[in-house]
């Protein structure tokens, strides 16, 4: 029960791919850059910053939320999004592990 969907790949492979996929669209990269740079976390201003419709941005936000990289706090009529530090650091660590696993070019 509750198997992780794909048993073809290791958990690490699926997790890494999941995070990477979330970063795999320039709009989502832009959103994360925005959230990372702003002192206060922004809300629907994200929509104004992106060349996309409100519903599309909302969809991208949802995807980022699904992988845990961001979270949203309801703030009056609007919603305040921000980076989830823990997930952020975990994603960072996973990617770093992959990238650090290649040392020197022993061939080619």
Interface with its own copies (CB under 8 A): 6, 8-10, 13-14, 16-17, 20-30, 32-33, 35-37, 39-41, 51, 71, 73, 80, 82-83, 85, 88, 91-92, 95-96, 98-99, 101-102, 104-108
- Cβ contacts of residue 84 below 8 Å, gap of 6+? 68, 69, 70, 71
Which listed residue (23, 30, 63, 82) binds DNA by CB under 7 A?
63
* 20, interface contact from its own copies, DNA, none, CB < 5-8 Å by kind: its own copies
CA 70 to chain centroid, in Å, comes to: 7
Rounded CA separation 41/34 (Å): 8
Distance CA 78, CA 85 (A): 22
Nearer of residues 48 and 104 to its own copies, judged by Cβ:
104
**Residue among 95, 16, 31 at smallest CA distance from 62:** 31
- 66 is a site residue for DNA (CB under 7 A): no
Site residues for DNA per CB under 7 A? 21, 24-25, 27, 43-44, 47, 51-56, 58-63, 72, 74, 76-79
């Amino acid at each position: 029960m509750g198997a992780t969907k794909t048993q073809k790949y290791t958990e690490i492979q699926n997790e890494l791919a999941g995070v990477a996929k979330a970063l795999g669209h320039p709009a989502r990269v832009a959103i994360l850059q925005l959230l990372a740079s702003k002192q206060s976390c922004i809300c629907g201003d994200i929509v104004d910053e992106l060349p996309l419709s409100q519903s599309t941005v909302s969809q991208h936000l949802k995807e980022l939320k699904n992988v845990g990289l961001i979270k949203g706090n309801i703030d009056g009529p609007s919603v305040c999004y921000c980076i989830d530090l823990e997930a952020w650091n975990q994603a960072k660590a996973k990617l770093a592990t992959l990238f650090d696993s290649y040392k020197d070019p022993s061939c080619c």
